[in-house]
């Protein structure tokens, strides 16, 4: 069966069809009317329509509720505002549930930004944390960057402020460089958790993802932020899901890959693809 230009299995169609009467179904109806009645408005609203659609339907990618993530123990949340470009509280909470479950010894983060995620990793884990970001003055070629991503590149003042705040945690190691050309050799196959949340252009997400799989050890997890709200991140995750089993953490903008950890409800789905 084909819906919105995508192939759905019978099982997926059974899951999707009841949702057509919900908010997304109404959005689809309105969008189709726009296409017929006001094609110019349709062109403007199409990206948002696709984001809403992608947030509900992602065939080939499983779903997991944050409450399904195993593990016990307290989670500490800081009163820090990550602002535009950072993780929402529900996303941070889900990340920290995964931290509490897999108990990583080493973490690699693509994209420090304001250090809010990094700080939460530090207070909820004893892991050595390596966080990579590209200072604005080192960004030699940003022509392909979207304006939003270009604006998120930190200035030297931003870096000083972030470094001073993160300096209280002696297990955070700040790294600088372009993630596409950075030398990862000292960190290969040694990480228990990798977080991909840097440039959101498709080619960059794919490059960071390939490096993330190389950084991951025998067991661990990879998390991607801004799935399924970013079109390029969503495209990348769908491409990666053809080889590696992916999960969407419901109610968040997180995609998850697990290696060596079992979620019993999803064992059948996760066994279909292997590294």
Q: Is residue 44 part of a domain?
A: yes
Strands 216-225, 254-259: pairing is antiparallel
Number of neighbouring beta carbons within 10 Å of residue 166: 19
Is the model's pLDDT at 245 over the cut of 80? Answer: yes
Given a contact cutoff of 8 angstroms between Cβ atoms, the answer to whether 119 and 166 are in contact is: yes
Between 179 and 10, the higher pLDDT residue: 179
124: region left, alpha or beta (phi > 0 left; psi from -120 to 50 alpha): alpha
Q: Encoding tokens for residue 202?
A: 């498709």
Q: Is residue 253 part of a domain?
A: yes
pTM: 0.77
**pLDDT by residue (tens digit) across 169-195?**
899 998 988 999 999 999 999 999 999
C-alpha span between 19 and 17 (Å, rounded):
5
Q: For 110-144, b where at least 16 C-beta lie within 10 A, e where not — what string?
A: bbbbbbbbbbbbbebbebbbbbbbbebeeeeeeee
Q: Tell me what the mean pLDDT of segment 17-24 comes to.
A: 50
- From 17, 35, 56, give the residue that closes a domain: 56
C-alpha span between 196 and 109 (Å, rounded):
6
- From 56, 76, 95, give the residue that closes a domain: 56
Asked whether residue 11 falls in the same domain as residue 71, the answer is no
Q: For 170-202, b where at least 16 C-beta lie within 10 A, e where not — what string?
A: eebebbeebbeebebeebeeebbbbbbbbbbbb
User: How many domains, the chain?
Assistant: 2
Q: Helix (H, G, I), strand (E, B), or coil: what is residue 73?
A: coil
Find all residues with CB under 8 Å of 260, minimum gap 6, and list them. 218, 219, 220
**pLDDT by residue (tens digit) across 83-134?**
666 899 999 999 999 999 999 999 999 998 888 899 999 999 999 999 998 8
Asked whether residue 120 falls in the same domain as residue 228, the answer is yes
Given a contact cutoff of 8 angstroms between Cβ atoms, the answer to whether 116 and 82 are in contact is: yes
Between 170 and 11, the higher pLDDT residue: 170
The CATH number of the domain holding residue 145 is: 3.40.50.150
Domain that holds residue 36: 2-56
Asked whether residue 130 falls in the same domain as residue 77, the answer is yes
C-alpha span between 262 and 247 (Å, rounded):
12
């Amino acid at each position: 069966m084909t819906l919105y230009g995508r192939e759905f299995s019978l099982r997926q169609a059974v899951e999707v069809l009841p949702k057509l009467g919900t908010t997304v179904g109404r959005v689809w109806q309105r969008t189709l009317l726009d296409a017929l009645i006001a094609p110019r408005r349709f062109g403007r609203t199409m990206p948002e329509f696709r984001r809403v659609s992608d947030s509900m339907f992602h065939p080939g990618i499983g779903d997991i509720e944050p409450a399904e993530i195993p593990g016990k123990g307290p989670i500490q949340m800081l009163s820090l505002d990550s602002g535009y470009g950072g993780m929402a509280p529900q996303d941070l909470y889900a990340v920290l549930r995964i931290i509490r479950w897999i108990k990583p010894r080493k973490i690699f983060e693509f994209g420090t930004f304001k250090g809010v995620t990094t700080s939460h990793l530090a207070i909820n884990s004893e892991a050595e944390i390596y966080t990579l970001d590209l200072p604005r003055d080192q960004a030699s070629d940003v022509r392909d960057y979207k304006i939003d991503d270009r604006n998120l590149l930190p200035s030297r003042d931003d870096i000083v402020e972030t470094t001073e705040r993160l300096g209280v945690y002696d297990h955070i190691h700040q790294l600088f460089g372009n993630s596409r050309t950075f030398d990862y050799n000292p960190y290969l196959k040694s990480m228990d958790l990798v977080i991909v949340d840097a440039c959101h252009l498709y080619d960059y997400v794919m490059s960071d993802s390939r490096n993330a799989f190389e950084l991951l050890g025998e067991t661990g997890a990879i998390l991607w932020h801004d799935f399924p709200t970013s079109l390029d991140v969503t495209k990348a995750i769908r491409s990666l899901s053809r080889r590696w089993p992916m999960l969407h953490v419901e109610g968040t903008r997180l995609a998850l890959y697990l290696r060596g950890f079992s979620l019993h409800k999803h064992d059948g789905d996760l066994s279909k693809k292997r590294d």
